């Protein structure tokens, strides 16, 4: 989970500014997730204000806009700035993976057709779409699968509040088995924050025989354990209700949770659900109610990470996050550490291009192919020829 500053922003709803707009005929903003239509669609040509919004008309000053017009236009432009974006074009498809002998159904997003599988696990409160923008580049040389963990995104389970690391590990292994059977391709586990803990524990089980690499994103035992005492306060003090999805996206960016607007526009809608009783959007993951499992995510994580018998890389947003065990392990060359500058906790969202490049370089450097490590020059023996 992100322990960055998530202080509340004033809920100055953009919809309030649009309740009594100037009387004009205009089409609503196109959005797959639009929560409230701005006004009925119209077949009449767009007026000059619409051209101004689209950047196709003369500059604003030439219209001599009234204060009311200008205020309305600014509000509409801001709403458009934070409108949701679709994941299509980055991921190729989505699937529901039912788990036999249970009522659990896990949702996955998939991209790419060849190479090893980069299997992505998101952090607490995020979703599989947290990896959307980076998946668009990773899929050029590898396959990508991003899973919604239980209690998150579009996944459904018998107990959405059982976020114990053991349960989530079993979920991941069950999904991989259902997707690939008994002969899965080479898999590189990538986990962010809480998902990083799950990835480490899955790797440490040594039951996934085609596991070829492990990438942990911005989670270190020492820092994570120290932050747990503040987590309830952080979760409770964040904005809980949003009048629209656009307001939630705006809050995530202005509050500092995410620094990349485009990534927020794709990922944030999947972290929300509409509450009919409250007539607003609320957070999908009920993290406040899962406190009993938090310590288990991170306790002993550094030593478990170091014990995993596969190539490993730790991506960090700051060098001060290394604890003693990892510092020693890094000096001994047990894993690679990369510090990604100018980013927040969600490195894969804030700097998707750099993140994707780091993943592909990791795969290339460790020679991970579709079936595992590929050794250059190793070929099948040539069929013997008869002596001349």
Catalytic residue check, 152: no
Strand order in the sheet with 211-217: 93-98, 105-111, 143-147, 117-121, 187-192, 211-217, 312-316, 336-339
Among residues 122, 345, 350, 351, the one annotated as catalytic is: 345
Measured distance between the N- and C-terminal CA atoms of the chain, rounded to whole angstroms: 70
Rounded distance between C-alpha atoms, residue 351 and residue 206, angstroms: 31
pLDDT computed for residue 67 by the predictor = 66
For 130-170, the pLDDT digits (tens) are 999 999 999 999 999 999 999 999 999 999 999 999 999 99
More confident residue, 84 or 60: 84
The DSSP line for 188-221 is EEEEETHHHHHHHHHHHHT--TTEEEEEEES--H
Rounded distance between C-alpha atoms, residue 67 and residue 226, angstroms: 50
Catalytic residue check, 364: no
For 180-220, the pLDDT digits (tens) are 998 899 999 999 999 999 999 999 999 999 999 999 999 99
Among residues 31, 134, 155, 193, the one annotated as catalytic is: 193
- Mean pLDDT taken over the chain: 83
For 71-80, the pLDDT digits (tens) are 655 556 667 8
Closest to 188 (Cα-Cα) out of 143, 251, 225, 237: 143
Whole-number percent of the chain with pLDDT over 90: 69
pLDDT computed for residue 176 by the predictor = 98
Rounded distance between C-alpha atoms, residue 84 and residue 72, angstroms: 20
Among residues 218, 267, 270, 283, the one annotated as catalytic is: 218
For 243-271, the pLDDT digits (tens) are 999 999 999 999 999 999 999 999 999 99
pLDDT computed for residue 43 by the predictor = 36
254: which 2 tokens?
């202005």
For 64-108, the pLDDT digits (tens) are 666 666 665 555 666 789 999 999 989 999 999 999 999 999 999
The pLDDT of residue 23 is above 60: no
Confidence of residue 62 (pLDDT cuts 50, 70, 90): low
Catalytic residue check, 122: no
Element of type H or E holding 230? helix 221-237
The DSSP line for 264-309 is HHHHGGGGEEEETTTTEEEESS-GGGGGGGHHHHHTTHHHHHHH-S
Q: For residue 353, give every residue at least 6 positions away whose Cβ sits within 8 Å of its Cβ, in sequence order, or none.
A: 133, 134, 137
More confident residue, 339 or 38: 339
Confidence of residue 373 (pLDDT cuts 50, 70, 90): confident
Closest to 373 (Cα-Cα) out of 363, 382, 383, 381: 363
pLDDT computed for residue 380 by the predictor = 43
Burial group, residue 296, by CB count within 10 angstroms (0-12, 13-18, 19+): middle
Query: Is 154 in a helix, a strand, or coil?
Result: coil
Strand partners, 213: 188
pLDDT computed for residue 96 by the predictor = 98
For 116-139, the pLDDT digits (tens) are 999 999 999 999 999 999 999 999
What would the 3-class secondary structure string for 49-117 be? HHHHHHCCCCCHHHHCCCHHHHHHHHHHHHHHHCCCCCCECCECEEEEEECCCCCCEEEEEEECCCCCE
Answer yes or no: are the C-beta atoms of 118 and 145 closer than 8 Å: yes
The pLDDT of residue 27 is above 90: no
């Amino acid at each position: 989970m992100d322990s960055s500053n998530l202080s509340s922003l004033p809920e100055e709803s953009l919809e309030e500014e649009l309740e009594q707009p100037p009387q004009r005929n205009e089409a609503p903003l196109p959005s797959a997730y639009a929560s409230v239509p701005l006004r009925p669609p119209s077949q009449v040509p767009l007026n000059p204000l619409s051209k101004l919004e689209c950047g196709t008309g003369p500059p604003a000053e030439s219209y001599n806009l009234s204060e009311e017009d200008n205020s309305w236009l600014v509000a509409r432009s801001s709403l458009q700035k934070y409108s949701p974006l679709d994941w299509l074009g980055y991921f190729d498809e989505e699937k529901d993976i039912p788990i036999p002998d249970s009522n659990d159904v896990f949702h996955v997003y998939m991209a790419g057709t060849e190479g090893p599988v980069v299997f992505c696990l998101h952090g607490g409160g995020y979703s599989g779409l947290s990896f959307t923008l980076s998946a668009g580049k990773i899929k050029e040389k590898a396959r990508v699968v991003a899973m919604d963990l239980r209690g998150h995104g579009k996944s459904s389970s018998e107990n959405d509040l059982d976020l114990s690391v053991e349960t989530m590990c079993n979920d991941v292994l069950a999904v991989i088995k259902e997707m690939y059977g008994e002969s899965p391709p080479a898999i590189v586990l990538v986990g962010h924050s809480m998902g990083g803990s799950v990835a480490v524990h899955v790797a440490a089980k040594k039951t996934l025989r085609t596991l070829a690499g492990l990438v942990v994103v911005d989670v270190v035992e020492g820092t994570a354990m120290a932050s747990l005492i503040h987590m309830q306060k952080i979760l409770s003090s964040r904005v809980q209700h949003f009048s629209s999805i656009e307001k939630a996206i705006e809050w995530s960016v202005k509050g500092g949770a995410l620094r990349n607007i485009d990534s927020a526009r794709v990922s944030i809608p999947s972290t929300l659900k509409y509450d009919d009783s409250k007539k607003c959007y609320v957070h999908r993951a009920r993290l406040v109610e899962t406190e009993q499992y938090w310590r288990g995510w991170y306790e002993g994580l550094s030593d478990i990470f170091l014990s995993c018998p596969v190539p490993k890389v730790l991506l960090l947003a700051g060098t001060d996050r290394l604890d003693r065990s990892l510092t020693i392990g890094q000096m001994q060359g047990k894993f690679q550490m990369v510090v990604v500058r100018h980013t927040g906790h969600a490195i894969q969202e804030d700097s998707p291009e750099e993140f994707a490049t780091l993943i592909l370089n990791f795969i290339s450097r460790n020679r991970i192919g579709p079936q595992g490590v590929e050794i250059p020059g190793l070929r099948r023996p040539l069929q013997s020829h008869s002596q001349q």
